[in-house]
Amino acid sequence: MTSRAAVLRMPQRPRGRVVAAGRAAGAGRRERALTLREGVVAVVVLVAVALGAWTSYEIRMVGRDIAALSRAAAELEVQKARLAERRDALLKTGRLEALGRSMGLHPPTREQVYRIRVR
């Protein structure tokens, strides 16, 4: 007997096409090429999913910004109320009269007061 080298040749796929594995009803695995239409649909679906994820992210970021601005507005309202109370305390008539007396001031005479009519 002579020894002979055995060479097995595998069938080659056609080049330039994307191949996906699919299942036929009741059959084993078979290979088929994706059509241009299926490729376009896959790209459109991918873009739609990406846009949906990006939109969801942006909505969450805007929600966080709104929450931060609401907290800042509430803090400013509290500060405004405190400042109004402080202003009212500083402008009390009794306090101003006491300050005037301590500085040696006295109420104006009639000749020092001029009334202006606004029409």
* pLDDT on residue 33: 77
Q: In the predicted model, what is the mean pLDDT of residues 63-82?
A: 98
* pLDDT on residue 48: 98
Phi/psi at 33 (5° precision): -90, 140
First to last CA, the chain: 133
- pTM equals 0.49
* pLDDT on residue 32: 74
Residue 23 · residue 29 · CB < 8 Å = yes
- Which pLDDT tens digit goes with each residue over 74-114? 999 999 999 999 999 999 999 999 999 999 998 889 999 99
* pLDDT on residue 6: 66
- Which pLDDT tens digit goes with each residue over 42-63? 999 999 999 999 999 999 999 9
Higher-scoring residue by pLDDT: 20, 56? 56
CA dist., res. 95 & res. 102, Å (int): 11
* pLDDT on residue 63: 98
